Amino acid sequence: MVAQCVDGDVDAYATLVRRYEAAVYATAYCYVGRYGAAEDVAQEAFFAAYRSLPRLRDPARFGVWLRETTSRTAANWLRRHSGRLQTETPLPSRQTISIEDAREGPRGLLERQERYERVQAAIDALPERYRLPVVLRYLQELSYDEIAAFVGESRDEVRGALQRAGRLLREYLKAHDRPEEGETGWRRVRE
Amino acid sequence: MASCSRVESLMQAHIDAELSPAERLVVEQHVAECPQCAVLLREFQAASVLLFETLADDRLPRSLAMPVMHGLPEMAVRDRGDLAGVNWRAKHPSSRTAAMRRRIPIAAAVVLTVLAVVIQYNWPERPVPNASAIGVVTQVTGDAYHAAGPHASTGRAALKAFIEPGATLQTGSNGTMMAAFAGPTYLKLNRNSRLVVKNDRRFELAHGEAWLNVGRNGHRFVVHTPSGDVRVLGTAFVVQADATATTVTVAEGEVHLESAADRQALVVVTRGRRATISRRGSPTAPMDASVRTATAWAEAIVPDREAHTLFLDVVQSRAGATLELPGMVVWRIPTTQGDEAWAVSALRIYWDPTPATASHCSYEVYVYDGNMRPLFRDHVDGSVFDDADGGFYEVRAPAGPIRGVNALTVRLVPDFSTGAVEPTLSVKALAH
């Protein structure tokens, strides 16, 4: 499949996009999710990957290579927008609400928002090496094998990482059952 | 029996259904006999469920394959002219050295980008996304018409046509149509109807019947009819209007039905209810109604898949990400003069003179610094706004003047359980 893409087969590339989009999106989300830019960065990463496909040495490691490309794309995005992210009005915060949610009433919505911020804070508190596997698992529900192929580790390493991360998340969420005032740093905004 | 620490090390994988059958048995047997580990497992599960559920809102909303493939210059060319050049390398796999092979696709991409631009300019049929488009026609049956603007001539409505502010949509005696607007808001128009799209949050139904499913994006959504306005609070409903009366049936959420003749006459119509307003009178009290009967005609209209995809890609992708809490109002107030940040002792929430003298919603007030770090919160009771002449309400910073921040962000989140009328608000900061 990868070889076909290197040979200029665009249909094969569409198949690869479908296969890896969840993982690429989740990776982008790790870096720029708080700015509401995960989808844009994921698209950019696929463009960048397509352009540099001919430089891919080992097609068997396409997943790992794609993750590196995505990280680079996200880092570039952050650099490009660093000035704006510091100064611009971070409004409005993004919150998709279904009709079911709306029935909870405003107080329910606030609780949701607080819960959201608490979960993001718990993920942010993880050691960096655990964050991507956690987001791949909980955001896009990837299997351990899929995560392993994407982060370039063995299945056992992924299992160990998620076990330790699970313990830390459990402890954090238990300790922060009620959100503390002044701790809500996580927000999503849009360009 | 396996040790507790061994079992604990398997718990996350157990929840993720990633254990071998033998390991699973180890965990299950142990947990059945060890109450401490059973509690621990439940905590692991609770944390996992919380993470899954909370992150569900952020999950990739749609496949990226379409936008990515459309964004590749090679694809644009292939779509247009089926140029053989795209697969040139595939057809000449062994005719070059390896070094050349690595360079060619880059060169090809550059050449094709240029071609793609040229071809796009010479390809008028291709729907060029207009920056001002706020919607797309996603289904048409029978006689249906579309005028692009207030002075534009009316033509037959075309599937995938972009809709701009000021457009008129009209159906004949055997026609229906569907359109999607930024928000997203979905509109279905029954036979013999005429609707003017003022903008993506404001429609005018001159006559006929419209089904609407309105996305919440924090802005008020209004359908004007000759007899009065239907103000939407995020919801699905059917409006029927003629010259003398307007009836609204609500399938989900709730709407306000506001009289055109009497600015104070207003009813709130909730899910499964219906209310009517005549041109010269007050709205009737809402009564139970069969939503199924009222929406049967609309159920029969489904969007064309390609037209809907076009809407998602062109219109909604631009606007769709600005969704926020319903009715939430947000201000950012700079608190610097030159390079100096001044101290803020209080905030004043002003409301405009209002026709309603009761049933205002109350607000939770959230105050953050410029980096969205919370400073304090407060509550404003809805009765404060009942003074019809307008006025202000002062919220003092509880811990004394706020110093050293260069901006304040103030969010007012309405609580509609205390009242349904939103006053028109503005906020000022007072210097210490």
Higher pLDDT, A108 or A69: A69
- Compare CB distances from B218 to A14, A22, A92 and report the shortest one's residue: A92
Cβ <8 Å between B63 and A140: no
- What dihedral angle (degrees, nearest 10) is formed by the CA atoms of B413, B414, B415, B419? 170
CA-based nearest distance A52→chain B, Å:
8
CATH 1.10.10.10 location in chain A = 90-175
Comparing A37-41, A176-180, B228-232, the range with the smallest average pLDDT is A176-180
CB pairs under 8 A between A and B: 197
CB B315 within 8 A of CB B199: no
By the CB < 8 Å criterion, does B374 face chain A? yes
Instruction: Determine whether the interchain pair B71/A43 forms a contact, defined as Cβ–Cβ distance below 8 Å.
Output: yes
Beta bridge partners of B86: none
Which positions 99-118 of A are in contact with B (Cβ < 8 Å)?
A: 99, 102, 105-107, 109-110, 113, 115-116
Separation of CA B161 from chain center: 21
AA identity, residue B410: V
Q: How far is A148 from chain B (nearest CA, A)?
A: 13
Task: Note whether B193 and B212 are within 8 A (CB).
Answer: no
Residue A52: both structure tokens together: 């540099």
CB A96 within 8 A of CB A109: no
CA distance B232 to B212: 10
**Orientation of helix A62-80 relative to helix A10-32, angle to 10°:** 50
**Which DSSP string do the residues of B71-135 spell out, in sequence order?**
HSHHHHHHHHH--GGGGHHHHSTTSS-HHHHHHHHHHHHHHHHHHHHHHHHT-TTS----TT--E
Which residues are B288's β-sheet partners? Answer: B273
Please indicate whether, in this complex, the C-beta atoms of B58 and A174 are within 8 angstroms of each other. no
Average pLDDT taken over every residue of chain A: 78
User: Would you place residue B102 in the very low, low, confident or very high pLDDT band (cuts 50, 70, 90)?
Assistant: very low
Least CB–CB distance from B65: residue in A17, A115, A116: A17
pLDDT in tens, B26-42: 998 898 899 999 889 88
Report the percentage of chain B scoring pLDDT > 90: 14
- Give B257→chain A minimum CA distance, Å: 19
Residues of B in contact with A104 (CB under 8 A): none
pLDDT band at A57 (very low <50, low <70, confident <90, very high): confident
- Across the interface, of A97, A135, A170, the residue whose CB is closest to B216 is A97
- When CB atoms are compared, the residue of A18, A29, A99 closest to B63 is A18
For the ranges A98-102, B15-19, B70-74, B364-368, which has the lowest average pLDDT?
A98-102
**Which two structure tokens, joined as six digits, stand for A113?**
């928002």
- Whether residue B370 has pLDDT greater than 90: no
Q: CATH second-level architecture of A90-175?
A: Orthogonal Bundle (1.10)
Tell if the CB–CB gap between A10 and B105 is shorter than 8 Å.
Answer: no
Strand partners, B392: B350
With an 8 Å Cβ cutoff, is A143 touching chain B? yes
The confidence score (pLDDT) of residue A166 equals: 93
Question: With an 8 Å Cβ cutoff, are B417 and A106 in contact?
Answer: yes
Contact call for residues B145 and B194 (beta carbons, < 8 A): no
A178/B contact by beta carbon, under 8 A: no
Position A133 pLDDT exceeds 90: yes
Residues 6+ apart with CB under 8 A from A158: A133, A144, A147, A148, A151
- Just give the CATH number of B329-431: 2.60.120
Across B349-365, average pLDDT: 79
B43 CB neighbours in chain A (<8 A) are 170, 174
| Residue A168 contacts B where some CB pair is shorter than 8 Å | no
* Residue whose entry in the numeric block shows the structure tokens 């490309």: A69
A91·B332 Cβ contact <8 A: yes
Residues forming CATH 1.10.1740.10 domain(s) in chain A? 2-85
The rounded distance, in Å, linking the Cα atoms of B193 and B177 is 10
**B13 and A159 in contact by Cβ < 8 A?**
yes
Check residue A103 and give its pLDDT.
44
What's the rounded Cα separation, in Å, for the pair A70 and A76?
A: 10
Q: How would residue B328 be classed by pLDDT, with cut points 50, 70 and 90?
A: low
Chain A residue at shortest CA distance from B236: A99
- CB-CB contact of B131 with B110 (8 Å): no
Task: Give the span between the Cα atoms of B352 and B222, in whole angstroms.
Answer: 20
Fold assignment, A2-85? Rna Polymerase Sigma Factor; Chain: A (1.10.1740)
Pairing of strands B221-225, B202-214: parallel
- The CATH number for B136-320, chosen from 3.40.50.2000, 1.10.3720.10, 2.60.120.1440, 2.60.130.10, is 2.60.120.1440
- For residue range B173-208, what is the model confidence (pLDDT) as tens digits? 999 999 998 877 889 999 999 999 988 778 888 899
Up-side HSE of residue B193: CA atoms within 13 Å toward CB?
A: 26
Portion 169-228 of B in contact with A at CB < 8 A: 216, 218
- The answer, yes or no, to whether residue A4 has pLDDT greater than 90, is no
Q: What are the percentages of helix, strand and coil residues in chain B, rounded to 5?
A: 30, 35, 35
Q: What is the pLDDT of residue B266?
A: 66
**Facing A8 at nearest CB: one of B12, B90, B102:** B90
| Whether B369 contacts B405, CB under 8 Å | yes
| Contact with chain A for residue B10, Cβ under 8 A | yes
Q: Mean pLDDT score of chain B, rounded to an integer?
A: 75
Cβ separation of A163 and B72 shorter than 8 Å? no
Closest CA in chain A for residue B69: A14
Contacts of B109 in chain A (CB under 8 A): 51
Q: Dump pLDDT digits (tens) for A75-95.
A: 998 888 876 665 543 333 333
Q: Which amino acid is at B246?
A: T
Q: How far apart are CA B20 and CA A189, in angstroms?
A: 42
